[in-house]
Structure 1
Amino acid sequence: MAWSEIITFTFVATLLVISPGPNGVLIAKTVPTSGRAAGFANVLGFITAFYLHGALSILGISLLLVQSAFAFTLIKYIGAAYLCWLGIKSLIAAFKGIAPATNIAPARHKRTLFKAYLEGLFTNALNPKVSMFYLAAFPQFITPGETALSTSFLLIFIHSTLNAIWFGLMVILFSGLTKFARNGNFQRWLKGVTGTVFIAFGIKLASFRP
């Protein structure tokens, strides 16, 4: 694989990573109430999901999802339902309200690292658009005669590393603002925005056509 192809893929993947999406919203919701470690657990879940989608793409299972209308629709609606479920939970928490004079104590709403990891994993694992990105990207950057397996995992590694860097920086940023972000009024506003965005992404995913 030539360096020009690696640089091109890195540029395309970077645009995908930094574009607004549910991953950034999940980080913004997790870090203020559960801490930096939980945010990094979210990121680890993201990366695991990327390798899962990459493995499925390499093995050809994702191709079945694209070719089978039923399989694609099933995975798509499961992912959309999960995003909408997260959104509804956040909106309920926002409408319940938090007294202006109170602050959210970290321990009251703290996620375990495993739960934070699962949230990051499922947010991406149930999104068939990740597999479709790999299915579209792999053939473009694999030179005939190369070992498709090693080249594909190189591309997955690049994509995962970009995600780790970008969202890792986001975790550090939000952890630095934790004292302000734990304010009750800010949390209510954040939960409302988070819920709205997650539901919007869920509806967008449900209406997505390959």
Structure 2
Amino acid sequence: MDLTTILAFVAVTTLLVISPGPNGVLIAKTVPASGRLAGFANVAGFVSAFYLHGAFVVFGVSVILARSAELFFTVKMLGAAYLCWVGIKALMQTRRNPKVAMFYLAAFPQFVPMEQATATNIFLLVFIHSMINLIWFSAIVVVFSRLATLTRGGRVQRWIKAATGVVFVGFGLKLATMRA
């Protein structure tokens, strides 16, 4: 597998991982409610799922290669169409994101040349994807954990209450001085 393919995979995977989606929402909901450890447990679950998807790719690509070059070409073209569709949706600023399973079924084979579709090459890409995910979502867990800790502190709570009080007093004075 050449460096150009790996770098292209890193670019596409990084964009997929950092774009808002269900994993980020899960982290945002879990960490403030259940803490940092629960957030890291979510990240471990994400990473584990990638290896399962990678195993499916190994078996799927092997079957496709054993069956026919035409079938492999068809899957490759469907994957290319999928990547274009994801790109167009991103350009249209949609909030929906592709599922990891769809990425591994349709787009992932684009980065594994037919003659290099070995378990080693596939799991190299899975490892890269899992490390990007681990780094990104671990950082998100730490950020949400710190924000949750910060917002629970007395000083921040006093500031929030003071700001809320000022806003409500302002609205009250505005309402009191409003003309009919």
Q: What's the CA shift for 1:173?
A: 0.3
Aligned-residue identity in percent: 60
Structure 2 CA distance, aligned partners of 1:32 and 1:139?
A: 37
Q: After TM superposition, give the deviation of residue 129 of structure 1 in Å.
A: 3.5
Match of 2:40 in 1: 40
| Equivalent residues of 2:31, 2:38 under 8 A apart | yes
Amino acid at match of 1:163: N
Counting helix residues as a fraction of each chain, which structure ranks higher?
Answer: 2
Of structures 1 and 2, the one with the larger relative CO (CA 8 A, separation 6+) is 1
How many residue pairs get aligned? The number is 119
C-alpha distance in structure 1 between counterparts of 2:132 and 2:147, whole Å = 23
User: For the Cα contact (< 8 Å) 2:57–2:122, is it kept in 1?
Assistant: no
Is residue 123 of structure 2 the alignment partner of residue 169 of structure 1? no
Establish whether residue 156 from structure 1 lines up as the match of residue 136 from structure 2. no
- Which amino acid in structure 2 is aligned with residue 148 of structure 1? T
| Alpha-carbon separation, structure 2, partners of 1:13 and 1:29 | 23
Preserved contact between residue 17 and residue 162 of structure 1 (Cα < 8 Å): yes
Q: Structure 1 137/154 Cα, relative in aligned 2: closer, same or farther at 3 Å?
A: farther
Match of 1:146 in 2: 116
Q: How many angstroms apart in 2 are the aligned matches of 1:181 and 1:38? A: 19
Gaps of 5+ in 2: 64-97, 154-180
Distance, in Å, in 1 between the alignment partners of 2:149 and 2:25 is: 19
Tell me: CA distance 1:138–1:178, structure 2 relative to 1, closer, same or farther (3 Å).
Answer: closer
In the TM superposition, what is the alpha-carbon distance from 1:181 to its structure 2 partner? Answer: 4.9
Residues in 2 aligned to 1:28 and 1:182: alpha-carbon distance in whole angstroms: 16
Looking at CA atoms only, which structure, 1 or 2, has the larger radius of gyration? 2
Larger mean Cα displacement after TM superposition, 153-162 or 143-152: 143-152
Q: What is the deviation of 1:131?
A: 2.6
Match of 2:113, SS?
coil
Return the offset for 1:133: 1.2
Taking the aligned partners of 1:169 and 1:163, their CA distance within structure 2 comes to: 10
After superposing on structure 2, the runs of 4+ consecutive aligned residues of structure 1 that deviate more than 4 Å are 180-183
Q: In structure 1, give the amino acid aligned to 2:43.
A: V
CA distance in 2 between partners of 1:59 and 1:156 (Å): 14
The verdict on how the C-alpha distance between 1:138 and 1:177 changes in structure 2, with shifts beyond 3 A counting, is: closer
Q: Which runs of 5+ in 1 are unaligned?
A: 64-127, 184-210
Partner of 1:27: 27
Find the aligned partners of 2:19 and 2:109 in 1 and give their Cα distance: 23
1:129-170 deviation per Cα after TM superposition (whole angstroms, max 9, x unaligned):
323312333432223433521111111111111110110000
